[in-house]
Structure formats: structure tokens, C-alpha cells
Amino acid sequence: MAFDRLAACAGQWHGSNMLQDPGLGRQPVISESTLSLVALLDGRFVRLDYTWGYHGKPQAGSMLVGCQKKTGVMTVHWIDSWHNGDLVMACEGVVDERAVSVRGSYAAPPGPDWGWRIAIAPDPGGSLSVVMHNISPDGQEELAVEARYSRMDPRR
């Protein structure tokens, strides 16, 4: 199960973050990124804390991931200095074999709410990806964030 594979990825990770910035005409903003993954409460939860940058300004975020194994429900509570302001986005999905995959939504006044999908995929080959999609009210998905990580050498 993807949640158990994710919990087994505890440690420090380094990679790159690509943000599709809608304010720049869909030009991607690429920055270095770090990720710290910690299993909590005897492996019942996983917390990801990550850093990245936006035009030289440091950014950070955190996700608390839970899995109710009995029902197969996955939850992610996500905060981020650039995307969410002072709000927590609560996302939910079902257990998947390959990735933690959840959906949430956010207000986009004066129109209807938009959706957001987060996929966290641990690769048995030693990599980890966090991919996020923006979902329009009519269901069209567009890549918003793609972060790819490799495990850091513990001697660094």
C-alpha cells in the first residue's frame, strides 16, 4: 500500500520544485527543494515538511498524511506559505497501491470553488515525487507543481 511505502521513506530528501505560475503566462518557476519526511504515532501518520523558492524568496509547506486502513480513506492536511495563505486545505482520497492521491478544493470568488489534487509517490528505486494539479470548476486538470526528490546522503 502506498501509505506504508511512504512511511518507509522517513528521512531527508533533496530535489527540485517546478511551479507553473499562472501569473507568468504559464512559465514554470524552478527552484531547489528539500523535504523532510517523518512517521508519527507509531506510523499512523506521516508528516512532510518541504522548502522551495519563488523568485529567490524562500517558501515552505507541510502535509500531515493519514490513512484509515479499515475503510481505505486517505487524508492530507496541507499548509503552504505561497499557495494557501493562512488556511489549511483538507484533502481526501482512497488508498492506492502506487501513490497517496487526494483531492481538496479552494474558494475562487466571485466564481465557484476550484479543485486541487495532490499525489505523493514513493518510488522503490529511491525517489519521491509530489505532484499537484489545479482543477477548474468544469473538471479540467492542469499541472501546478511537480517536485522530484532523491534521498540525501546522511553524511552530508
Bigger pLDDT: 17 vs 156: 17
Average pLDDT score over residue span 98-127 = 92
Its pTM stands at 0.93
Query: Buried (b) or exposed (e) across 59-87, using 16+ Cβ within 10 A?
Result: bebebbbbbeeeeeebbbbbbbeebeeee
Residue-wise pLDDT for 12-62, tens only, equals: 999 999 999 766 676 899 999 999 999 999 989 999 999 999 989 999 999
Amino acid at 19: L
Q: CB of 116 within 8 A of CB of 107?
A: no
Residue-wise pLDDT for 136-149, tens only, equals: 999 999 999 999 99
Bigger pLDDT: 2 vs 37: 37
Q: Which domains does the chain have, with CATH numbers?
A: 2-151 (2.40.128.20)
Cell of 9: 521513506
